[in-house]
Structure 1
Amino acid sequence: MSDQMYVPPAVQEELDEIVHATGGRGEIERRADRRYRIIVSNDRCRVTVDLKMTGPGRWGWGGSTLTVDGQQHPLVPGTHELGRLFRDPDGYDAAEAPPEGELDAMPPAREPGEAPVIVAQQFRTLHDRLGEGAEVTLGAEGDVWVIGVDGPRGGIRLRYREQRRDRWGMDQQRPLQIVVDGLDRTAEAKGDLAKALALMGEQRGDSATNPPPVDRPSSASRSNAVETRRSTVIRV
């Protein structure tokens, strides 16, 4: 990448995040006036991601390639899987990849003062703990209260139901849902909020809500950078 070449911040951010997920070497090529190619590689693996400007401050996916030992490899769902492949190409098993998923929509918004005590307490705890790292919201519909945690790359839904008269707890059938980078990680969380928060932050090894890279749902915190889901960038 030439020192003189201008690289839009959104393109540089995508490169940095793929490099972080894979541990590979990264570079950027300018393919045309409004088109850039991200290249990340190690001794055996190489991925390219083309990004093209689709409007002021907006970028869309323009195609991807993935090779292992110089041979074409099927594209993988998201940078979590791309990191697995880069670290162990021989042991990579696509069947172990989490399924794609989409977060449940939040029910109508409600105020903490209206919520059952345990729900209001958890909402305030998450709101204070996560600060500006995530948006924490509260909603309810019927007999279900839901706390939503939404970060740049995914989110969590915590569901509460009345277990017995005036006794509330996590919904026993579906206590939480977590989707990160377009992949449903709910089964891995096993109903544990601490585990779910760790999954949201695992790509950078930070605390909760510092999730991952190349396919991120559109988010205001991301300044409309790349208009495509991360799983789509790495896998058609």
Structure 2
Amino acid sequence: MNDFLPTEIRDFTTRLANDTGSAPTITRATPLHYLLTHANDRVTLTITWRRNPAGKWKWKNSTLSIDNQQRALANSYDDFIRIWNTPDQADQKPPRTVLPDLVPLPDDADLPSVIATTRDTALRKIRNTEGATLSTLYVAETDHGYTLVADSPKGHIRIHYTQQGHTDYGWDVDPKQPFQVLDADGYDKTTQFAGNLRAALTSILGAPIPEASATPKARGPRDAAASNAVTVRRHSVIRV
């Protein structure tokens, strides 16, 4: 395994190797792209990551084939492992995904700026976009950081944030599991967006919401208090 891979790619590659029992191949396709290829006798997976202008590696696209015939991507990572182990049952519908319950923080909770900006931008865009829909929108504190949750008649999305680096303000989307998407029937559709958070938000909420970028600068007391993981645990949900 290449110790010099970007952390998010190395962590995913290690997880994949552990769960499938064999190591995938990683190549530096271009200075801006890494290509993962993972295959057994019947199943072949490819994943391409691209480095964005901020220097972060983002999941760009994927392909999945069985017996050299390309097919739709798995619905989730666990669904891919199922297909890898039992390709003859690849078309079997996976069980509905059950996500853990989260407790919403109050609207005025102190949050890292990247999270607050995404939440506020989403709310503003939805209110100003014809045809956009939103049932609930809130932020919850988790064991790993924060999760932004949005529901609409089209489905459910959770965006996971973790503190990265050693500063109090280095919050950004979790590179290991940036987000999760469920359709209206409760089936995991995360992999269909190939790591494209903006596309996932647009699909579920019906509005083109830009992905906020983390910044090392504080945004007043909201950022300063974000380093205290037990500051606020009240209950509030934005309903539209």
Task: Answer with 1 or 2: which has the greater Rg.
Answer: 1
State the TM-score, normalizing by the size of structure 1.
Answer: 0.46
Higher strand proportion (structure 1 or 2) = 1
State the TM-score, normalizing by the size of structure 2.
Answer: 0.46
